[in-house]
Amino acid sequence: MMRWSIAGYDLVATTEVLLAVAFIAALLALRVLQYRLERRSTGSAHDFPYQKKEALLTAAECQFYVVLQGLAAVEKLDVFAKVRIEDVIEVRKGARSYQSHRNRISSRHLDFVLCDRQKTAPMLVIELNDSSHKRRKRQQRDEFVEKALEVAGIPLLWLPVQDAYPVHELSRQVREKLGRSTDTPNTTVPNSRLISLRDTHSTDQATLPEGVKAP
């Protein structure tokens, strides 16, 4: 038996009670330690509420991507999708309000960027216009993107979302924006008919340039 005094009161506790209290405290401390170790090693579902997306591109973007891959192969360019604007252009060093200008491009993306194969230098940006571009806020975003790319010297091609894309007309528009001749033999893209998403999965599918396969 142990006796001690706290604030003028005499307290008495048996050895059994003290051992029970110590045992419970040890169990609690062990549980807390175990919990912290589990969080550190695996993380909590509340801390990482993520899941894989079904696809990087929407159905409309994927449809256009199939066509664009063929055109890019003919032009000896590579296609990149959903590229951050900040990866294509940057704020000039020494510019006033540098961080403010950077914030305007850091979280925005471009639909497609055609790049040089050797250095991946951006050559042309292509934006698909769907119904969302009719909203005023979206139009303001589009106006900013167009002006920023123009100042940076990167051509921009706006295209409406379609069920199918006329290959030769699209090829002409791309070459025109790239500053390349639109009437030389190498501008011809195999198959002059429309390529649509349905075509790329049919037995009678549209012919893409050699080495380019539909997904």
Residues 35 and 72 in one domain: no
* 194 in the same domain as 94: yes
Is there a domain that residue 210 lies in?
A: no
Say whether both 109 and 159 belong to one domain: yes
Assigned domain for 206 exists: no
User: Based on the structure, what is the number of domains in the chain?
Assistant: 2
Can you tell me which residue has the tokens 């008919």? 193
pLDDT tier at 92, thresholds 50, 70, 90: very high
Residue that wins the pLDDT comparison between 191 and 63: 63
Same domain, 28 and 98: no
Q: For 121-173, what is each residue's pLDDT tens digit?
A: 999 999 998 777 677 888 999 999 999 999 999 999 999 988 888 889 999 99
Structural domain containing residue 37? 2-42
Do residues 20 and 75 both lie within one domain?
Answer: no
95 and 34 in one domain? no
Closest residue by Cα to residue 108 from 78, 141, 157: 141
121 and 32 co-located in one domain: no
Same domain, 92 and 155: yes
Please check whether residue 70 lies inside any domain of the structure: yes
Share the mean pLDDT of the chain. Answer: 80
At 6-62, the pLDDT tens digits run 555 555 556 666 777 788 989 898 888 887 776 666 555 667 888 999 999 999 899
